[in-house]
Amino acid sequence: MRLLIVEDEKRLAMSLAGGLAAEGFAVDVVHDGLEGLHRAAEGAYDLVVLDIMLPGMNGYRVCAALRAAGHEMPILMLTAKDGEYDEAEGLDTGADDYLTKPFSYVVLVARIRALLRRRGGGSGSPVVTVGSLRMDTAARRVHLGSAEITLTTKEFAVLEQLVLRSGQVVSKADILEHVWDFAYDGDPNIVEVYVSALRRKLGAAAIRTVRGAGYRLEAL
């Protein structure tokens, strides 16, 4: 899952990014509203964390512009203090949720996960099953039958992309875009390394390579 943080308080932005990266998210950070708008409109983000008082363009306008352009990713707005933020106005511009600073990091992560589950549609359950594979995206645990499979955060994130689109071919570029942040300029074949690791843990038949197209998770 790839997140964009648009927040001009650099220390807060970097600490959020560090914490969310440790949770297995790919996180990009920008400090200016206009740059945030461009980045959010171009990138394949699963969710945007958007401050309201920003240089360049304020968060309300960024949010409204994204919705006007047809972007439907969840947007979680941040506000510095009570009163700065008008909840009705924020929700009017198309934000999905908001948090007032100072907020608890644990609450932020819970809200982000809830928005991502809601976006996934259906029951909003954090547990996804494909055959005998069961992935709990909230507890971050994976079981194959009755056996628990221990994955690193990156392995988990790669598997999550395949599980969320099980039965479909997911391209290497797609996985790269959702799991690694834009600062990653290394070899795109890094995806293969993680797919190999997942095959070792889940069985070689779990992930099929579709030549020239990508990977497909097979029901086990």
Which stretches of the chain bind Ca ion, using CB under 5 A? 8, 51, 53
Taking the least distance from each CB to Ca ion, the nearer of 37 and 175 is: 37
Cβ 136 vs Cβ 144: under 8 Å = no
Minimum Å gap between C-beta 7 and Ca ion is 7
Minimum Å gap between C-beta 116 and Ca ion is 24
Amino acid at site 1: M
Minimum Å gap between C-beta 97 and Ca ion is 18
Minimum Å gap between C-beta 14 and Ca ion is 14
Minimum Å gap between C-beta 51 and Ca ion is 4
Minimum Å gap between C-beta 31 and Ca ion is 9
Taking the least distance from each CB to Ca ion, the nearer of 8 and 32 is: 8
Taking the least distance from each CB to Ca ion, the nearer of 8 and 174 is: 8
Backbone angles phi, psi at 4, to 5 degrees: -115, 130
Which is it for strands 207-210 and 214-217: parallel, antiparallel or unpaired? antiparallel
Q: Give the CA count within 13 Å in the CB-facing half-sphere of 106.
A: 0
Taking the least distance from each CB to Ca ion, the nearer of 53 and 114 is: 53
The whole-angstrom distance between residue 112's C-alpha and the CA centroid of its chain comes to: 8
Taking the least distance from each CB to Ca ion, the nearer of 51 and 160 is: 51
Taking the least distance from each CB to Ca ion, the nearer of 60 and 215 is: 60
Instruction: Give the tokens for residue 43.
Output: 């990138």
Rounded distance between C-alpha atoms, residue 178 and residue 161, angstroms: 8
- Contacting residues for 1 by C-beta, under 8 A, at least 6 apart: 24, 25, 26, 46, 47, 116, 157, 160, 178
Counting beta carbons within 10 angstroms of the beta carbon of residue 1, is it exposed (0 to 12), middle (13 to 18) or buried (19 or more)?
Answer: buried
Rounded distance between C-alpha atoms, residue 61 and residue 40, angstroms: 13
**CB nearest Ca ion: which residue?**
53
